[in-house]
Amino acid sequence: MTPGRGVLFLLALALLFPAWGGAAKIDLFEDLTTGTLEDGQHGWTRSAEDAKDGAVPDWWVRFQTPENAPPYLELYQDVWNNGPNLLVTRELRAEEGTKGWQLAGRVKFVNAGEDSIFLRVLDDGGKAIASLDRFTINHKQGKRGPGDSYFTFNGAAVLTSKATGKAKWAAIMKFTTDGWKPLKITLSADKPDVLTLEYGDRTVEAPLPAEAHAMMPKTLQIFFGWGLGAQGKGGIYLEGLTFTTEKATEKTARRTAGD
């Protein structure tokens, strides 16, 4: 039986725009309820140091559900009041046979002028496959201003700037705190040796760490706090986080349909 034009058209669209969605797509916020993120809740864990929100509180990890905006996860702290580093993780449940994967959502940094922020995808052995890092080292207090600031993806600069010192810090701060930005980290079956970051209007390709098991992403790790010695006050918001995996059979099926 020869397929009709409508079927052929849909198959052509599928080949031109291969969908990352479908059965292999996980909503990382599924079943979360408004309020404090509890350790062990729906695949999420918190480090022992900050398993509960601060008593004042001076730090917290909360799932927010505003009336007129999409829900989001908020990590907030005031480290001037000696709050702990915040470290949360989410199970990703990748399986053997994975040939590609994508972490997607939106992110927003609020203030957090000198805090370290690390968003990482770890493999089944705990090694980093992908690492989006914003940090400052050699921080100096008072009017002398911050030290050396960086915003990198697997070591590659996300925001390139010829500025140094305080000017570089200011440029990174402006770029990362300027509203919500779409975020995608993709390892495609078509480019198995390259990771691609899409952050706002920037696209960065970076090599895979040689020691990482890239096709076995197991954990999303989010760190916010003192990090490399800098300190400050603010938060990181994450909205609509999804994790999608693609297996070889799915890729083959789409190509066969186009023959």
The tens digit of pLDDT for each residue in 48-83 reads 666 566 555 577 889 999 999 999 999 887 765 555
Phi and psi torsions of 41, nearest 5°? -85, 115
> How many CA atoms lie less than 13 Å away from 182 in the CB half-sphere?
6
Own/partner pairs, 188-195, CB within 8 angstroms, 24+ separation: 188/100, 189/99, 189/100, 189/246, 189/248, 189/251, 190/100, 192/99, 195/129, 195/130, 195/153, 195/154
Residue 172 has a pLDDT of 84
Residue 6 has a pLDDT of 42
Quick check: helix, strand or coil at residue 243? Answer: strand
| Tokens (6 digits) for 168 | 């570089």
Quick check: helix, strand or coil at residue 235? Answer: strand
Residue 12 has a pLDDT of 41
Domain 24-254 - what CATH class?
Answer: mainly beta
> How many CA atoms lie less than 13 Å away from 63 in the CB half-sphere?
18
Domain residue ranges of the chain, discontinuous segments joined by +: 24-254
Residue 134 has a pLDDT of 83
Query: Could you tell me the pTM of the whole model?
Result: 0.81
Query: What is the chain's Cα-based Rg?
Result: 20
Residue 119 has a pLDDT of 92
Residue 203 has a pLDDT of 96
Phi and psi torsions of 128, nearest 5°? -75, 125
Task: Measure the CA dihedral 29/186/98/17, to 10°.
Answer: 100
| Ranges of residues in the chain whose predicted pLDDT is under 50 | 1, 4-18, 20-23, 142-144, 250-256
Task: Measure the CA dihedral 95/98/100/101, to 10°.
Answer: -10
Residue 121 has a pLDDT of 96
